[in-house]
Structure 1
Amino acid sequence: MSAAHPSAPAGMPLARLDEGYPVLAALSPSGRRRLLEAARWMRVPGGTCLFDEHQACEGFPFVVDGSIRVVKSAPNGRELPLYRVGSGETCILSTSCLLGREDYRARGVTESDTVLMLLPQAVFEELLDERPFREFVFHLFAERIAGLMQLIEEVAFRRLDQRLAAQLLGKGRTLHRTHQQLADELGSVREIVSRLLKGFADQGLVRLGREQVEILDPAGLRRTASGEPARSTD
């Protein structure tokens, strides 16, 4: 990780940290003091690579503002999005790297301007002795594992057209996404996603525009997402 600052950025009160991470209020006075004394603050521009494969983990991140996109990259340049980390959440890769003392096996990139508080490994290990912090870490760890298992099921057992249809749903009538962005989110390539979107448009499910997709038939997309055959228009 980079762009570290030794103290909290101006205009970023500790109340913002406590709001996102209520567990910090449950720490012992000595534990909280140790955390705040050892923590490093980072203000990172959007699009910054915070960590990459084969890099050592420098600490346990608390996301105070912004978000981080964690992806697995292939040698051909394709990426599979694994999860996002927002305020109040934690990074399962950072946790596993600290617990196992191993390097990262994926890449983390900020999606927007992001403020982090980074807890050094030694203090992270000390705080695991406190029950509230330990339960917080392992609860979020379990949630992330469940999310990754769902992702594995999606990739292994659902066709790409089903996954794309599901990706388009639940975000309003119009999605402001490029075909490349949709492909990145699905871990696919733009050409395949563009071909599928054209097929959806030919079926009357969507209308394609410049960097946007307008949903015309949500029920039809839901049928596609569930794997049901398209209804005949005859």
Structure 2
Amino acid sequence: MSAALTPEGLVALYPALAGLPAERLARLLRPEAIMHLPAGTQVFAEHQPCQGFPLLVDGTIKVIKLAASGRELMLYRVSPGGSCIISSSCLLGHTDYNARGIAETPLTLLALPMQEFSSLIVEHPAFRDFVFHLFAERIGELMQLVEEVAFARLDQRLAKLILARNEATLNVTHQQLADELGSVREIVSRLLKGFASQGLVSLGREQVAVVDREGLQKLATV
């Protein structure tokens, strides 16, 4: 069993649960609440009712919005110690999901049932603060995303995305980058070839290597 799937490990990952009685923490960790999902699994879908509040123990979830045209826009990622504001908004507002959650990597998550989530919101101030802090944090991220989509050039956004990975070499396809930007592969491929011709990156099979980080930073802030 993962160390995080113990009362002590869960509190270390989610300090907002500190102070709960031992028997209640044990109830949260009952075997039927623990989910192990392979990469690529759809964790939740649009128009699907929310059954619980996910506490991510291991792996990452990407939350995406699908347009009628079939294009996707990546809204945000959920990593261990965080959770999904779309799930909490659905539980609080008694509405269905309005986006999709996909496992980027193999996942281990703990699903808090609706009644347990509602009870913790009312009875445990630290958990309530955690949930509303998530709202504030994610809304800030989404406002930045709206600003970039509405006002920033796609080459700037692509440069920022490459830099945000903070890796010398990104093992990623052009389609994956296009999905995160809400664009199409052909346009992203054209921009990457332009970056390569300027000496900013070098391109390989499903790889983008950063050659001139300072040049990318200048482009991202133009």
Query: What's the TM-score, normalizing by structure 1?
Result: 0.86
Q: Is the 8 A contact 2:29 2:110 kept in 1?
A: no
- Larger-gyration structure (1/2): 1
Indicate yes or no: 2:178 matched with 1:183: yes
Say which of 88, 103, 119 aligns to 1:126. 119
1:201 paired residue number: 196
Q: Kindly tell me: are residues 34 and 193 of structure 1, through their superposed partners in 2, closer, same or farther at Cα, counting changes over 3 Å?
A: same
Partner of 1:104: 97
CA distance in 1, matches of 2:45, 2:213: 38
Q: Which moved more, 1:21-30 or 1:151-160?
A: 21-30
Give runs of ≥4 in structure 1 deviating > 4 Å.
28-31, 36-39
Q: In structure 1, what residue type is equivalent to 2:217?
A: R
Secondary structure of the structure 2 residue equivalent to 1:19 = helix
Identity in percent: 57
SS of 1:128's equivalent in the other structure is helix
Superposition deviation, residue 30 in structure 1? 6.6
Q: How far did residue 112 of structure 1 move?
A: 1.1
1:138-191, Cα deviation, whole Å (9 max, x unpaired): 111211111111111111110100001111225233222211111112111110
Which residue in the other structure is 1:230 paired with? none
After alignment, is 13-22 or 53-62 more displaced? 13-22
Question: Which residue is 2:86 aligned to?
Answer: 93
The one-letter code sitting in structure 1 at the alignment partner of 2:139 is I
In 2: Cα distance, 1:11 partner to 1:173 partner? 31
- Contiguous gaps of at least 5 residues in structure 1: 1-9, 228-234
Match of 2:143 in 1: 149
TM-score (norm 2): 0.91
Asked if 1:213 is matched to 2:215, the reply is: no
The structure carrying a bigger helix percent of its residues is 2
> Within 2, Cα distance between the matches of 1:218 and 1:127?
45
Tell me the CA shift for residue 67 of structure 1: 1.3
